[in-house]
Amino acid sequence: MIRLEKRPNASKAWSYSTPLLAVLLTMIFGGLLFAALGKDPIAAIRTIFYDPLLGQHAFFYRPQLLVKAAPLILIAIGLSLGFRAGIWNIGAEGQYIIGALCGAGVGLAFYPTESFIIFPLMVLAGALGGWAWAMIPAVLKTRFGTNEILVSLMLVYVAENLLRGMAVGLMKNPEGFGFPGSRNLAQYPSATSWISQNAGLHWGVAFALIAVIFAYILLTRHMLGFNIRLAGQAPRAARFSGVNPTRLVLFCLGTSGALAGLAGLFEVSGPAGQITTDFNVGYGFTAIIVAFLGRLHPVGILLAGLLMALTYIGGEIAQSQLQLPAAAIQLFQGMLLFFLLAVDLLTNYRIRLKQGAAA
């Protein structure tokens, strides 16, 4: 019999080593899965984890890694603040869309003027758009006690419809031969977020790194970060300490909304280039996984975002080169999350083997 015993203190060693253990377990069981599918498991694991980083064509994949990881990290950092405080913003996808629409709207309105001020204005509009969209569940929660999970999630579908309307209506490219979709902002020098397309660098990558650093300082050194953690772990103690719950809700939802909005703007003015009906690809939802995979810690999220991007890109390579089915790759990614959550238990519990009849 196996029994779990709660540790008096969370184990530091385990909290650092569980993610590695999870990756290792995923490789082993993923390898078994691939072997069962009749593929060489070593080659498959190599293709997914090694080739994008250090393989023959890594120069091509590495920039993609940054492009994929940046929005995930940026959104996940914002979400992690709220999650730590027990405020559940599930609607980052919607805030991402609205941020993109607002930012792109500003850029398109200036077209074809060239000025250094256009991009900063778009950034501002993108952040404000995401912030405003997140303020809807925030204000409803603080005013009327509605559930932010439901409201933020439902607003994703509203945002998606708004996106479709914009792509075929107001923001449609007048020179686009009637196809849905806006002008391509990546080809509009004053409005593009690209710094160097070859290196995979756009302003979103820079902002993601800055967000990681700021979140780290906020959570470890600043009173606001302390209050966020306190409110999440012990709401009554937070009230006793003097934390204002209303302000905390507004801050957490607002910040995560603004960061998601920024991610949307950087995406639409760079890698995606234009507002299309299906411009959003689910970064807002994947970021929830990234936030938990990184155990809500800024540095963890940075690594988790990169790992997630790696499995996406490596998975695509494996599909094209080894003809692995897409479902197998998704299963593989699911395994990663599953193992991480499972071995996470070891941080707070130890496993005891129970002696049988001897006791």
Partner 1 sequence: MSELFAGQGLRKAYPGVVANDNVSFSIDEGEIHALLGENGAGKSTLVKMIYGLVKPDEGQMSFLGAPFAPPEPRAARAAGVAMVFQHFSLFDALTVAENVALGMENPPKPARLAARITEVSNEYGLPLDPHRTVGDLSAGERQRVEIIRCLLQDPRLLIMDEPTSVLTPQEVEILFATLQKLRAEGTSILYISHKLEEIRALCDRATILRLGKVVGHAVPRENSAAELAEMMVGSALHRPERELTPSGDIALEVSNLSVKSANPFGTSLKDVSLMVRKGEVLGIGGVAGNGQDELLAALSGEATSAPDTVKMHGNPIGKLAPPARRKLGLLSAPEERLGHAAAPEMSLTENALLSARLRKKLTNRDFINWKATQAYAEEVIAAFDVRTPGPHVAARSLSGGNLQKFVMGREIEQKPEVLVVNQPTWGVDASAAAAIRQALLDLAADGAAIVVISQDLDELMEISTSFAALNGGRLSAPVPVEGLTMERIGLMLGGAHDMEVAHEHAEAPA
Closest CA to 97 of 261, 217, 245: 261
* Whether the Cβ atoms of residue 134 and residue 257 lie closer than 8 Å to each other: yes
- How remote is the C-alpha of 331 from its chain's centroid? 19
| Of 327 and 358, CB closest to partner 1 | 358
Minimum CB distance to partner 1, residue 244 (Å): 7
Minimum CB distance to partner 1, residue 162 (Å): 37
Minimum CB distance to partner 1, residue 8 (Å): 4
Q: Give the interface with partner 1 as residue ranges (CB under 8 A).
A: 8-10, 221-224, 226, 229-230, 233-234, 236-242, 244, 359
Which residue type sits at 70? A
Angstrom distances, CA of residue 232 to CA of 86, 131, 145, 226, 275: 5, 22, 17, 10, 37
| Of 269 and 347, CB closest to partner 1 | 347
- The DSSP H or E segment spanning 344 is helix 326-348
| Of 143 and 236, CB closest to partner 1 | 236
Minimum CB distance to partner 1, residue 357 (Å): 11
Distance between CA atoms of 277 and 101, rounded to whole angstroms?
11
* Whether the Cβ atoms of residue 280 and residue 176 lie closer than 8 Å to each other: no
| Of 108 and 238, CB closest to partner 1 | 238
Minimum CB distance to partner 1, residue 238 (Å): 8
DSSP secondary structure letters along 118-133 = HHHHHHHHHHHHHHHH
Tokens of 149: 């999970």
SS3 150: helix
Minimum CB distance to partner 1, residue 48 (Å): 36
Angle at the Cα of 189 (from 183 to 190), degrees rounded to 5? 95
| Of 57 and 239, CB closest to partner 1 | 239
Minimum CB distance to partner 1, residue 346 (Å): 15
| Of 9 and 323, CB closest to partner 1 | 9
| Of 73 and 238, CB closest to partner 1 | 238
Closest CA to 271 of 195, 326, 211: 195
Angle at the Cα of 343 (from 46 to 220), degrees rounded to 5? 100
Minimum CB distance to partner 1, residue 1 (Å): 9
Count the residues in the chain.
359
| Of 157 and 240, CB closest to partner 1 | 240
- The DSSP H or E segment spanning 280 is none
Distance between CA atoms of 238 and 171, rounded to whole angstroms?
46
Tokens of 327: 């479902």
Minimum CB distance to partner 1, residue 298 (Å): 16
| Of 130 and 254, CB closest to partner 1 | 254
